[in-house]
Structure formats: structure tokens, C-alpha cells
Amino acid sequence: MLNAIILAGNNSTSNPDGIGNKALIKMKGRFMIEYVIDALIGVDEICGIVVVGPGKELSSVVSTKVNAILDCDGTIMQKLARGMDYLGGDRNLLVCASDIPMLTKEAVNDFIMKSYDTGADFCYPIIEKKTMEEKFPDARKTFVKIREGRFTGGNIFYVNPLIINKTFDIAEKLLDARKNPVKMAGLLGPVFVLGLFTGTLSIKKAEEEFSKITGVRAKAIISQYAEIGYDVDKPGDIETAANYL
């Protein structure tokens, strides 16, 4: 069993993408965060769900669906630490973005089970380009070429809470760079940079280098569920996502 933390953005005027707080965008008559919450509620392995973000704005939207709404207007890592402080460190965490309205309980459960099997402290889903484009051909995603193919990253994480304080600083930098493969590669060292530009970096080598730099055992989880990788990044994505819904 594990707990889930949904990171629900900051105040509605503070996001640089021009969308505002994506958690509170209405799509098909429902707030985007509601789609995420409903997917998590359906997963038997999840025993508690908290939302971290602007409490006043969120309380009228999701207060009856989750265990708690924790007010925090900080960075991703500050929100994660806030959620962990509330939940305690006795269970592993599933950390989710609030802008993944296509998320399903099947996709979440598959990722959790595969993460359990690794025994790792940190797991991150990656989705192959073919998988993404077959499910969502209109999605505008960034794909990185590695030895095993072309992949994009997902928008949920599996985390052992005991590593959060230990890796706070490097994790904050990596999360800030998560949508910029070149910037992330620069943070992770020359092996990543060379492998990224030549397309020769393997998943195993990436895991090894990541673990060496952060000091935690990390694993990439290849997911067959494109829903994990479909996020709403730009104003134009809202209409496309609504059409899929």
C-alpha cells in the first residue's frame, strides 16, 4: 500500500505557460484535477490522497474527494515535502501532476506494480513514441532518442519518502529541468550529454548514472499506457485534450 500526493500548481496567475493553474481548468464540465483524483481513487493500492497547492482555490473543488488539501505555494519539492510531512514516512508515495486528465486507474496500477517489482527508491515512467502516437496522434510531446528507441517522460513518480530530504537540492534542479532533456542531461553529467546527442545512452546506463549522482536506487519503467504521458502544457493543448475526453 502507498499514499498519493497530487501537486496542484500555484496561484492561478503565477504559471508561465499562460494557462494559469491547470488543476482548475474546466474540461467537459469538470475541473482537470478531478480526472486525476478519480483515477487514483479507483486504485486499490492507494490508501490516502492529499492535494498540495493553493488551498483556498482547491477547497471548493476537491475537499470531499481527498483526505486533505494542504496549502502551499512553493516549488515542486517544497510541495512534496509538505505532503510527506502530513502523510508521514511509513509508506511509499505516488506523486502525480494535476494536468494529466487522461490518467486511468489501469495506467496507475500498472506503474505501481512494476515499481514494486524493482525494489527501487525512485521510479519514473517513460513511454515509447509509437505507444504515444498510436493513442494520442495529436499530442505534442518531446521525445528523446536512446538506444532502446524514442521515449517521452510520464507525469507520475514512485518515491520512497526516506530519500526526499537526502536528495532535496538535486531533485529540485532535476524536476525544474524535467521538460528540457538537454538541461537535465547537463545536470546529470557528460555521459548523459554524450549519450543524449548520439542516441547511444541506454536505459540501464541512465539508471546507473542517475543513481550515482543522486545516491538513490532509481529505475525507469517502460509504460504501455500513453495516458501517463499526456499532460496539458500549452493553451492549445486544452482543446485537444477536451476532444480526447
Mean pLDDT of the chain: 87
Q: What is the mean pLDDT of residues 173-199?
A: 75
C-alpha dihedral, 229 to 178 to 171 to 93, nearest 10°: -10
pLDDT higher than 90, residue 188: no
Query: Which range has the top average pLDDT, 41-45, 191-195, 213-217?
Result: 41-45
CA dihedral over 182, 231, 42, 66, signed as positive or negative: positive
Which structural domain, as residue segments, surrounds residue 96?
2-244
pLDDT tens-place string over residues 54-104: 988 898 888 788 999 999 988 888 999 999 999 988 899 999 999 999 999
Task: Tell if the pTM clears 0.95, that is, is over it.
Answer: no
Q: pLDDT digits over 209-233, tens only?
A: 888 888 899 999 999 999 999 988 7
- In CATH, what number is assigned to the domain containing residue 145? 3.90.550.10
Assess whether pLDDT exceeds 50 at residue 13. no
In sequence order, the 6+-apart residues with CB closer than 8 A to the CB of 61 are 24, 31, 33, 34
Contacts of 172 (CB under 8 A, 6+ apart): 75, 76, 77
What's the domain count of the chain?
1
As a whole number, mean pLDDT of residues 13-38 equals 78
